[in-house]
Amino acid sequence: MALPTLWVLNCFLLGVALLLGSVVFPAQSRAFFVFGDSLVDNGNNNYLATTARADSPPYGIDYPTRRPTGRFSNGFNIPDFISQRMGSETPLPYLSPELNGRGLLVGANFASAGVGILNDTGVQFVNIIRMFGQLENFQEYQQRVSALIGRGQTKTLVNQALVLICVGGNDFVNNYYLVPYSARSRQFALPDYVKFLISEYRKLLLQLYGLGARRVLVLGTGPVGCVPAELATRSRNGECSVELQEASSLYNPQLHQMLTGLNKKIGKNVFISVNTERMHGDFFSNPRAFGFSNSKVACCGQGPYNGLGLCTGLSNLCPKRDDYAFWDNFHPSEKACKIIVDHMLTGSTRYMNPMNLSTLFALDSSLI
């Protein structure tokens, strides 16, 4: 489909959605599945013996319970806001003992902080659920649901579900660039490493498709060289890390190209490319346009840019979290997550390709 035609279709369907009330789409039992890393983990690592956890204050300070949940956020994260727009509950962590019975039909969050596309990413966190493990858990989930509603209805539930996957950033910050002369940096020049990551990610996505996923939002990496952790260790005057920004600039276009190729191979728009680098970049370069007073310093942390070490009860803590684009040294604030999801809902093809979430929901509404 030509780009202008696609743009007109997006606008028409969004207009229909807006005329129906607001951009909130109550799901008729549409499940939601989440895979990936700390940007979307909502508590699986709480049940694991790992340092990659967000189960202590001040995490969760702005969550409705005012308590840490395992989300790497001061409050809600990206899956929460997507669930709200779907008019549904946020799926529980797969490891939660509360995920059982009819609650399984809402979906599940399989994400685990610290993971990457590659199995050797995040080795310092030891006990995390790597991507192959998340897909194994998805298989197990389907077996559990089949026992509840039967194999045929389970297949329908999974085929009609919305799937979100966010992984790849750790393959740079917690692997290739983790230490000078890392094993992967000695094995690959950066362009070759990016090609390797894309080829491995493609295999993961095909496995996900093979397990029944038919609507998959694939988040690219943000501007990884601009997060407070990298500014604190690599920046002299507040400029983003050139090396890590080069990694993002190589990776994200190739990811988009790979997703386009997969859709062409399958013959349907299964995979939706989410340009989070551009979304983050917008409020990084012009924070005041989005209501932020600061897009470089983390709200919670210590050292330059509050970018060193973990966010703990002893860290510096900003009083107005909505003024900050970053909550901690790596993760966006609740407000930033909401802005990202707003872009996912109504953004043009510069942000969402081949369609945004509003268009996707409108197209699928007659099928669910």
| Secondary structure letter of residue 240 according to DSSP | P
**Would you give the distance in Å from CA 129 to the centre of its chain?**
16
Give the separation between CA 78 and CA 282, rounded to whole angstroms.
17
Which among 273, 331, 333, 343 is annotated as catalytic?
A: 331
Q: Which of 83, 171, 328, 333 is catalytic?
A: 328
Pairing of strands 162-166, 32-36: parallel
**38 annotated active-site:** yes
Cβ within 8 Å of residue 191, ≥6 positions away: 250
Instruction: Please indicate whether residue 328 is annotated as part of the active site.
Output: yes
Q: At what angle do helices 131-149 and 190-210 cross, to 10 degrees?
A: 10
Q: Report, in this order, helix, strand and coil percent for the chain, each rounded to 5.
A: 50, 10, 40
Nearest-angstrom CA–CA distance, 68 and 105: 25
Q: Are 268 and 295 in contact (CB under 8 A)?
A: no
Q: Which of 38, 235, 241, 333 is catalytic?
A: 38
Residue 313 carries which side chain, given as an amino acid letter? G
Residues making up the chain, counted from first to last: 368
Distances (CA, A) of 237 to 244, 305, 306, 327: 16, 11, 15, 21
The residues carrying an active-site annotation are 38, 328, 331
